[in-house]
A and B are shown apart, each in its own frame.
Chain A
Amino acid sequence: METFAFYFLSISIVALFAVTVWSRNILYSMTSLAAGMVLISGLFFILGADFLGVVQLIVYVGAVMALYAFGMMFFDATGVVKEKNAPAMTVFILGGLTALMLVVIFAAPSIANGAPAFYPPMAGANNPQAVGLVLFTKYLVPFEVAAIMLLVAMVAGIILAGKKMDRSLSKIKDAELEGGEAKDSK
């Protein structure tokens, strides 16, 4: 059952992400990306990382993808993306080499064995409990720092995207757009 689930999920994820990367339409890309993310959370559940799976669903599928979706309202996303793609040769050589290297490194037997487990899950606790215990004891400082980072990112996102939000893009003259802040502050 687990084997079946793994292969099913794996093949679906690879296919979906391949669509994301190769699709000419941004909407297709985004949709397949979101679907892939959902399926990845399935992998997490199989691995017993329940909490991570939930976070994956909420943050990635819920928040990040929604943010992309909203962000795309600013762009002309309906049409087909016209771009000069890099030569296929380079892409395949680089991508293939990377995959090869990573597989070779990960498959090397010495990697996984021998490293001591620093924070083994507590006996008897379920995954969210164990995660919470470690996160709020050993990783408290990084956790708080991450919180501040998210706050800063939020403020930055609002300020960057929110400029001249009160005026329609089509009504702003080009010169004014290029002039930037100087004229704005007058």
Chain B
Amino acid sequence: METLVYTALFAPLVGSLFAALFAMSPKRQMTGVVTSILLFVSFFSSAKVLMHVVEHGEVHIKLMDWIVAGDMYIPFGFNVDAVSAVMMTVVTLVSMVVHIYSNGYMEHDRSFNRFFSYLSAFVFSMMVLVMSDNFLGLFIGWEGVGVCSWLLIGFWYHKEDVGRDVNPSISPSWAANEAFIMNRIADLGMLVGIFLIYWNVGSLQYDKVFEVVPGLDHGLLVMIGIFLFIGAMGKSAQFPMHTWLADAMEGPTPVSALIHAATMVTAGVYLVIRANPLYELIPEVSYFIASLGTFVAIFAASMALVNRDLKRIIAYSTLSQLGYMFAAAGLGAYWVALFHLAAHAFFKALLFLGAGNVMHAMHDELDIFKMGGLKKVMKWTYIYMGVASLALCGIWPLAGFYSKDTILEVAFNEHTYIIWFILWLTAGMTAFYSFRLVFIAFWGDERYKKLGFHPHEVQNYVLWGMLPLGILAVVFGWHKESFMEFVTEMLPAYEMSEHTHHMVATLTVATTLIALGGILLAFRLYSVRLRRDEKVEKSKIYKVLSNQYYIPIFYKNTFSEPYAKLSEIAWKEVDMQVVDATVDGIANIIEESGDAARQAQSGNLSDYLRWIAIGAIALAVLALFAALKS
């Protein structure tokens, strides 16, 4: 069993190191193939481990002692339980598909090998994150995925910075730094949470921590819960640290699919699920998490309504779905959150990969207003994206129907009707913006022809590679019951009350109706041709939404620019005037004293002899004093 776990964990690392060997050399197909095969090996092992966990329960292995210092003992251990096994399988499956897909997508990129090295390194970090049996290992993986995310968002770092009106993300390197810095701020919170745990528990092992947690002071638990959640907010891009996710779309599309939709951004949700014994004890924080999740759900969805950028729409939808997950986790339905996480990973990755196909066909054009009628030339991509969008909207019998519906039922069951209502409304908005995207891009008149594009379908193996995701987006929801049974071994079960049980049918119909309503509205508006309403586009609300509520500009004015000014002061006043002046002063003193002492080096031996005599006298005086003293 250990071998399988280690294989699952280290195969991506091997692939990454292998690809890294060729990082600076021109494209070699081999690196893509080798990393993909190793990812398949990792996926296969993960699946086997999952089966094992289903049959025999969790696996706990210790690789080695890691930190042993005084009372501090942190082993490098891995714990594969139901949650980890699910995460492992989801991560490796999506990663494998993305690796195969990238072989086609990155075909003409000059840094082909480097890309695969980063991608596999990301998978390794993510595996460490989900498999670790202690908070420190989780943190290592957490930072690892952060670094890989930074590397991959800024993959095309050579692009120039442009104004915010041309490209809201400014440039890949800018977006990468934004993501990294925001995550760093949030990670500080998480680190504080981990420190608090260590101080008060004396261990970082999950099992030990959660054993001790019920006995701790309530205020302390609230602190720990909040600090850990700050970390989760950063990684999962919750308000107010959400701006980086949309900008992260500057990275290559497979990266968006893998990291910024399916896996890394769900790490925050994973953390909350993992720490469920803690959050069970602090309902007020949990309720805050649920409320924030709900807010983010509708907040992100509203921005997606008006956006014209293909990838940004999907990014906002990711944000919105993360909000759903946090809402479910905050309301105590941890398994539902995990279920939505997995289902979302499949259909959102599929959606992004489809978007990648479209971008590929349209020569990296992202404005959906310039597309239209693509379904004729890109039939399979259209089908994939259609299926993924349907799943996202929660249409029966696709995956999203089961997961999202359950979240709404949970919200209803908890008597948090406001949350339920907002989430229900968001479901309608989700349906509208998803199908706005599909109809504008794939239906209607072929606007791209005027702009001189010649779209074509992508390579066949890429389409075949996407098939597992397509199938899972359809069938994953059918296994809700068995999934629940499996993960509730580990997570607390969630029982609906009698009252809700009666209401389930009504709720389901209500949700489906609003989703269908959203789709129909999109159909009415966009299915024939692009209808643009000047009045709407000039309205204030539209402007606020399309400018992301002016939050990036607000951040720029309140944080970035004062900070830049502060840095300038620190540079010009403190560094130049104080630090540099001191250093220069020391150098000047030495130089000047050297200049003065240079007079002594006259080159004349006689002068030197005189100095020697003076020195000898000084030594004699010294000897005299020494003799007198003794």
A contact residues vs B (CB 8 Å cutoff) = 86, 90, 94, 97-98, 101-102, 104-105, 108, 110-111
B564 at the interface (CB under 8 A from A): no
A-B contact pairs, 17 of them (CB 8 A): A86-B610, A90-B610, A94-B614, A94-B617, A97-B617, A98-B613, A98-B616, A98-B617, A98-B620, A101-B617, A101-B624, A102-B620, A104-B624, A105-B620, A105-B623, A108-B627, A111-B627
B606 at the interface (CB under 8 A from A): yes
- In whole Å, how far is B520's beta carbon from the nearest beta carbon of chain A? 101
Bound state CA distance, A102 and B624, in angstroms? 10
Residue of A nearest to B614 (CB): A94
Cross-chain pair count, CB within 8 angstroms? 26
* Interface contacts beyond A97-B617, A108-B627: sample of 9 additional A-B pairs, CB < 8 Å, sorted by A: A86-B610, A90-B610, A94-B610, A98-B613, A98-B616, A98-B620, A104-B624, A105-B624, A110-B627
- In whole Å, how far is B600's beta carbon from the nearest beta carbon of chain A? 15
Q: Are A105 and B627 in contact, CB atoms less than 8 angstroms apart? A: yes
Q: Are B614 and A101 in contact, CB atoms less than 8 angstroms apart? A: no
Bound state CA distance, A86 and B623, in angstroms? 28
Residue of B nearest to A108 (CB): B627
Bound state CA distance, A18 and B620, in angstroms? 24
Interfacial chain A residues near B185, Cβ < 8 Å = none
Is chain B's binding surface mostly helix, strand, loop or mixed?
A: helix
Bound state CA distance, A97 and B621, in angstroms? 10
Bound state CA distance, A110 and B623, in angstroms? 13
Given contacts A94-B613, A94-B614, contact A101 B627 (CB under 8 A): no
Bound state CA distance, A102 and B627, in angstroms? 13
B contact residues vs A (CB 8 Å cutoff) = 606, 610, 613-614, 616-617, 620-621, 623-624, 627
Q: Are A101 and B620 in contact, CB atoms less than 8 angstroms apart? A: yes
Interfacial chain B residues near A94, Cβ < 8 Å = 610, 613-614, 617
- In whole Å, how far is A72's beta carbon from the nearest beta carbon of chain B? 20
Interfacial chain A residues near B616, Cβ < 8 Å = 98
Interfacial chain A residues near B617, Cβ < 8 Å = 94, 97-98, 101
Bound state CA distance, A110 and B613, in angstroms? 25
Residue of B nearest to A105 (CB): B624
Interfacial chain B residues near A108, Cβ < 8 Å = 624, 627
Bound state CA distance, A94 and B616, in angstroms? 10
User: What 5 A-B pairs are tightest by C-beta distance, nearest first?
Assistant: A101-B620, A94-B613, A97-B617, A105-B624, A98-B617
- In whole Å, how far is B618's beta carbon from the nearest beta carbon of chain A? 10
Bound state CA distance, A86 and B613, in angstroms? 14
Interfacial chain B residues near A111, Cβ < 8 Å = 627
Bound state CA distance, A104 and B613, in angstroms? 17
Interfacial chain B residues near A104, Cβ < 8 Å = 624
Bound state CA distance, A110 and B626, in angstroms? 12
- In whole Å, how far is A113's beta carbon from the nearest beta carbon of chain B? 13
Bound state CA distance, A86 and B611, in angstroms? 13
Bound state CA distance, A136 and B423, in angstroms? 109
Interfacial chain A residues near B614, Cβ < 8 Å = 94
- In whole Å, how far is B215's beta carbon from the nearest beta carbon of chain A? 78
Residue of B nearest to A111 (CB): B627
Interfacial chain A residues near B624, Cβ < 8 Å = 101, 104-105, 108
Interfacial chain A residues near B621, Cβ < 8 Å = 101
Interfacial chain A residues near B620, Cβ < 8 Å = 98, 101-102, 105
Bound state CA distance, A98 and B620, in angstroms? 8
Interfacial chain A residues near B627, Cβ < 8 Å = 105, 108, 110-111
- In whole Å, how far is A110's beta carbon from the nearest beta carbon of chain B? 7
Bound state CA distance, A97 and B606, in angstroms? 18
Interfacial chain A residues near B610, Cβ < 8 Å = 86, 90, 94
Bound state CA distance, A98 and B617, in angstroms? 6
- In whole Å, how far is A1's beta carbon from the nearest beta carbon of chain B? 35
Residue of A nearest to B628 (CB): A108
Interfacial chain B residues near A98, Cβ < 8 Å = 613, 616-617, 620
Interfacial chain B residues near A86, Cβ < 8 Å = 606, 610
